[in-house]
A and B are shown apart, each in its own frame.
Chain A
């Protein structure tokens, strides 16, 4: 096992990594290894037992496990060497450009050498400490994914009186999940004046279960010495500052945090890849190649996706690029920069070659109705009835359009019409 050679190594066996493995195989890459830290494949999918997956990718409404099963079915007919239960710890770039990954699994410490790497490590959840929830540090404070794992992978019920922090889709779905087990979901608390999740989820996850949504409210403190006993909630003004005298106390025995996700970029950053502050993921060009040649990124480690479909799509894209690199090499380019304009909080890819079609993924900074996304320099615009920070935008621009770009950069602006 020591020092095995492959053309392509994929790190992460979530939807993005799986889709990339399948695609790379179909593109004729014959020696592929896939490293997955867990003992099972699928990433976060197996723990997401609710529907809402795959409407774009499979044109079907699937649960997380069903989506994963479909990918695993396809994977079976490939010759990809899958190493589950193996953690990729370190990536080293040799002076020859060859990549070497050190990894560990039960009974083995190993190194694999390869020509290209697709990094699809997903994301981690933000903790209470990152959003400054003060007070005591008792048991019963879980991130949404942690609670989901405990409930739906291991059959452990974390609490009976629940406060959910954050009204993104993840928070809303977890609120409903607890209600379905007979728990008393006291509230979903959201600091912004508008909910973070889809309207569909507000209705199906909260209203149908009579779960109150507290907007413009913030959980500031957790109380309880052994187990959680309650939370302190305070109203905030337009600038998100706490309003004096608006404090309230809610009794509960578990607090579920759905307060944001962060790409797991540590391995890439240590290997020297440039990280974008806005996405938290690596800076990539339109091959989804990081600033380390031959190392590609896809899925939630590239940019936090709302939809698994996009994560899988990025996986495929990275696979096509890696296949091209392995078979014929990627052309050297002087890339042009994609620049954040008005009300655009983040966008990928960061660099474009203008010789191929590009799918842009991004998010706006604040919600706006009736907007146009303008790519001024090439005279392209896309209309949207509503743009919300919680919903990723996705636009495809053809190589023909991009060829018109004369400047060194292209700026994206959101404009009200």
Chain B
């Protein structure tokens, strides 16, 4: 096989982005990262708990890939967050037990963790628990302490991976939906998208909730993805009490349970519940009364006290892409040469993503009989946008002197400056949500009511489009339906036509 291998990765979630970063290291690949949304990371990777799990949850005999890749992924993230300047707190996690039955489960988890190769696990008593997490429930009798777990900002992780990939030559195709896969004589020959036909030799399916559909397009698969909803509540930054560790209940066969944690931005967060949805509801991220009530009650059991309900600033939901077989699906097919699955990425898919990427590289090596060559100029580093809110006053003076736009505050709750927003646009944001996830503008107490329009004004100016056409998250989500007289213009036009 001579020349570059043209690889298309379908899906710019954490899995696709991890794969693209790993492939971008080598001279042998021409990498295309393809995403149907207007920005990266807006699928499952946007709305989840953001935990880099230690790796004791998954039973290695039942779910060998989950068990192996989670523990490996945790190790790799420890390096990647440094290379890529991704916000993370390596705060460790606690699984609380409330009785002897629960304590037995802790023993099982500990045993499983050891089998999965998780380091430093320990079962601790009440005394030590209280020391590690003063806010944890008085009723807890013991806990499993996993110091290697961390809390990451999952969306930032995707952005970082993609920016680093692009810097190393990967081509990102946004607002590009894969509609068909062309196979000639049992080999991948290209992708049909809403935009054009893309000739490639290899397709990696990292399409999250839609991976089964992509697999069907390739005429393989034989599995399906079922959405399972998880809802969350987020508290204001000043809400007390806070927790410094990730707190889990003892898990059930259905889920790891409702978690109490503090996000990397310092907001207390509780959730998720686990609600199976019908297969066709893959966009239903609505919040429900029952879901939020369940979360509140479950979380209340884990801590001595939750902040008052009026300190909640937002709720949201995400969908887990549950594969019919239970385990991750990472494989190729003899029938279709060049089609490789990185799908069924349910939890702990975020944790596992870097290890999945490594496995995909190995699969490519085997498939295309390669010994890939490291790019001479490969840049392992990426820096995130400098945040005004994180600077000291002296640093702020310097920032403002270098770039006057740092002095213009756009979002007062999160202290986001215009310069940050302009930089986010330079890095690829074209929508309000794109700005919001890159800078945290609109994510504070007022949830955007006092700054969304200011962000929109900057977007309109920088992208040179009419203000009303600036969108929340791409076509069909414009902030307005036209200028203020739009309805009258429409009416006059119709009347004119009727007369004429």
Contacts and interface: CB of A to CB of B under 8 A. Distances in A.
Interface stretch (A61-69, A130-138, A343-351, A374-382): A130-138
Contacts of A37: 409, 412
B486 A226 contact: no
A104 B468 CA distance: 29
A104 B417 contact: yes
Interface residues of B, number: 57
A124 B417 contact: no
Q: Is the interface of B mostly helix, strand, loop or mixed?
A: mixed
Contacts of A106: 404-405, 407-408, 418
A240 interface: no
Contacts of B471: 139
Interface stretch (A52-60, A149-157, A200-208, A210-218): A149-157
A266 B411 CA distance: 14
A43 to B, nearest CB: 12
Interface stretch (B57-65, B94-102, B169-177, B393-401): B393-401
A238 interface: no
Contacts of B468: 156-157
A146 B454 CA distance: 10
Given A134-B289, A135-B287, A127 B313 contact: yes
Q: Is the interface of A mostly helix, strand, loop or mixed?
A: mixed
A331 interface: no
Contacts of A128: 447
* Residue among A104, A125, A142, A143 with most chain B CB within 10 A: A104
Contact of B491 (A104, A152, A158, A182): A182
Interface in A219-268: 220-221, 223, 225-227, 253, 266
B457 A146 contact: no
Given A125-B446, A137-B285, A157-B468, A104 B312 contact: no
Contact of B467 (A111, A156, A226): A156
Interface stretch (B130-138, B360-368, B374-382, B473-481): B473-481
B275 to A, nearest CB: 14
* Residue among B406, B447, B483 with most chain A CB within 10 A: B447
Contact of B400 (A109, A124, A129): A109
A160 B409 contact: no
Contacts of B285: 136-137
Given A134-B289, A149-B453, A182 B487 contact: yes
A124 B445 contact: yes
B472 interface: yes
A227 B103 CA distance: 48
Contact of A134 (B286, B413, B418, B447): B286
B452 A146 contact: yes
B450 interface: yes
Given A89-B409, A104-B409, A139-B471, A154 B457 contact: yes
A129 B457 contact: no
Given A134-B289, A134-B292, A135-B286, A151 B484 contact: yes
A128 B483 CA distance: 25
A104 B313 contact: no
A105 interface: yes
B306 to A, nearest CB: 16
B373 interface: no
A155 to B, nearest CB: 5
A107 B407 contact: yes
* Residue among B312, B407, B415 with most chain A CB within 10 A: B407
Interface in B450-500: 450, 452-453, 457, 467-468, 471-473, 476-488, 491
B393 A156 contact: no
A108 interface: yes
A150 B453 contact: yes
Nearest to B399: A109
Contact of A181 (B393, B404, B488): B488
Nearest to B394: A109
A129 B289 CA distance: 13
B477 A139 contact: yes
Contacts of B484: 151-152, 155-157, 181
Contact of B447 (A107, A127, A220): A127
A145 interface: yes
Contacts of B467: 154-156
Contacts of A227: 476-477
A137 B316 CA distance: 8
* Residue among A134, A181, A220 with most chain B CB within 10 A: A134
B409 A87 contact: yes
Given A155-B484, A221-B286, 7 more contacts: A87-B412, A104-B417, A127-B446, A130-B312, A146-B452, A146-B453, A159-B480
Interface of B: 283, 285-289, 292, 310, 312-316, 393, 396-397, 399-400, 404-409, 412-413, 415, 417-418, 445-450, 452-453, 457, 467-468, 471-473, 476-488, 491
23 contacts: A87-B409, A104-B407, A104-B417, A105-B408, A107-B404, A109-B396, A124-B445, A127-B446, A130-B313, A134-B287, A134-B289, A134-B315, A135-B286, A139-B478, A150-B480, A152-B484, A154-B457, A154-B467, A156-B480, A158-B479, A181-B488, A226-B473, A266-B445
10 smallest A-B Cβ distances: which pairs?
A107-B404, A182-B487, A139-B472, A156-B480, A143-B449, A226-B476, A127-B447, A87-B409, A139-B477, A156-B468
Interface of A: 2, 37, 85, 87, 89, 102, 104-109, 111, 124-125, 127-130, 134-139, 142-143, 145-146, 149-152, 154-160, 181-183, 220-221, 223, 225-227, 253, 266
